[in-house]
């Protein structure tokens, strides 16, 4: 196990390097001169040039990249152009909120997704199966910003049950987590259903049924256990996607997380915050994938890593 983890970490290093390069280049091709933004509208050309030299904006891109990476490896991600505070401090304030929202959304997705998929598979072609799969298709298709606005209209404006703006509290995160979980819930439900149907058609399941084993035991002890590998894969990918895909949801509800931070930074051309935020999200996604790979062997010890 330890050897496998070290091997996976070594293979992830090139991925993170490529991601950091792409993020760096993407941010620096954005329109707008960061030196002029920092100097302000009333600054002279001499003032702008001094800032450009002080922050290294006059150097070639490859020099700026290596300078950024060398500082990042020491924990120095620069200073926000907009607030003047260290970027690491900005990220540290917002990241727990995004993680809290993503964890709440994935818990909702896993609990209800597996439950709905399991019932649909055991009651194939029933009314519940048809309705749940149609709703899952709707959940995959509906845009998060539209779903968020509709939930706010119903529960905040019409019924007045919940606050219209998100607060970092149990009540305040209900609507954002439901909005964020819609696509993941639908994906996990569909995957659970298809995986269960595939496993339920296997010979050993049919043999167990023929021998008169308890149907509940067959479903939970044999079928679901063998279908979990696919479900865990999808759930892990969805959790990584939730960390990066919460941008729109956080902006709709005003949730103080990385998504809201990166949108504000993009509008202000705050390059250090933008590239560091995207890099943190990418690293989080990679870490989740590594965790899922390790989780495979815990769920199914028959899997051997090489």
Domain boundaries, given as residue ranges, for the chain? 32-76, 90-299
Q: Which CATH class is domain 90-299?
A: mainly alpha
Give the distance from CA 36 to its chain's centroid. 34
pLDDT at 72: 84
Residues 136 and 130: their CA atoms lie apart, in Å, by: 10
Q: Please answer whether residues 34 and 57 qualify as being in contact, where contact means their C-beta atoms are separated by less than 8 angstroms.
A: yes
pLDDT at 70: 87
pLDDT at 32: 67
pLDDT at 253: 87
What is the tens place of the pLDDT at every residue in 139-184? 888 888 899 889 999 998 898 888 877 677 888 888 999 999 999 9
**Which of helix, strand or coil describes residue 86?**
strand
pLDDT at 132: 92
pLDDT at 107: 93
Cα-flanking dihedrals φ and ψ of residue 233, to 5°? -60, -50
What is the pTM (predicted TM-score) of this model?
0.82
Cα-flanking dihedrals φ and ψ of residue 76, to 5°? -105, 105
Q: Give me the residues of the chain with pLDDT under 70, please.
A: 1, 4, 30-33, 37-38, 40-41, 166, 296-306
Contacts 24+ apart (CB under 8 A), 197-204: 197/121, 197/124, 198/227, 199/223, 199/224, 199/226, 199/227, 200/121, 202/226
Cα-flanking dihedrals φ and ψ of residue 131, to 5°? -65, -45
Mark residue 40 as left, alpha or beta (left: phi above 0; alpha: psi -120 to 50; beta: remaining). Answer: left
pLDDT at 111: 93
Count of alpha carbons within 13 angstroms of residue 72, beta-carbon side:
18
Q: Which residues contact 218 (CB under 8 A, 6 or more apart)?
A: 205, 208, 209
Count of alpha carbons within 13 angstroms of residue 243, beta-carbon side:
23
């Amino acid at each position: 196990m330890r050897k496998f983890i070290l091997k996976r970490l070594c293979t992830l290093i090139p991925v993170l390097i490529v991601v950091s390069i792409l993020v760096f280049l993407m941010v620096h091709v954005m329109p707008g001169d960061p030196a002029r933004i920092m100097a302000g509208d009333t600054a002279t050309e001499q003032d702008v040039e001094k800032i450009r030299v002080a922050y290294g904006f006059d150097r070639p891109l490859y020099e700026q990249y290596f300078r950024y990476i060398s500082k990042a490896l020491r924990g120095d991600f620069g200073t926000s152009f907009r607030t003047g505070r260290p970027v690491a401090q900005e990220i540290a304030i917002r990241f727990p909120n995004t993680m809290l929202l993503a964890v709440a959304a994935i818990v909702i997705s896993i609990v209800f997704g597996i439950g709905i998929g399991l019932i649909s598979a055991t009651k194939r072609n029933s009314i519940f199966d048809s309705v749940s799969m149609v709703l899952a298709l709707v959940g995959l298709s509906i845009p998060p910003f539209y779903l968020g606005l509709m939930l706010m209209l119903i529960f905040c404006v019409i019924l007045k049950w919940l606050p219209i703006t998100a607060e970092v509290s149990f009540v305040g995160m209900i609507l954002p987590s439901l909005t964020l979980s819609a696509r993941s819930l639908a994906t996990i439900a569909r995957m659970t259903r298809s995986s269960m149907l595939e496993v339920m058609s296997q010979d050993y399941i049919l043999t167990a049924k023929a021998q008169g084993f308890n149907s509940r035991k067959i479903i939970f002890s044999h079928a679901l256990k063998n279908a979990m590998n696919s479900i865990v894969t999808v759930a892990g990918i969805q959790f990584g996607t939730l960390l990066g895909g919460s941008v729109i949801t956080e902006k709709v509800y005003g949730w103080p997380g990385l998504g809201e931070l990166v949108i504000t930074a993009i509008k202000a051309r705050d390059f250090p915050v933008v590239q560091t935020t995207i890099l943190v999200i990418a690293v989080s996604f990679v870490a989740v994938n590594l965790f899922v790979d390790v989780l495979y062997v815990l769920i199914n010890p028959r899997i051997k890593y090489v």
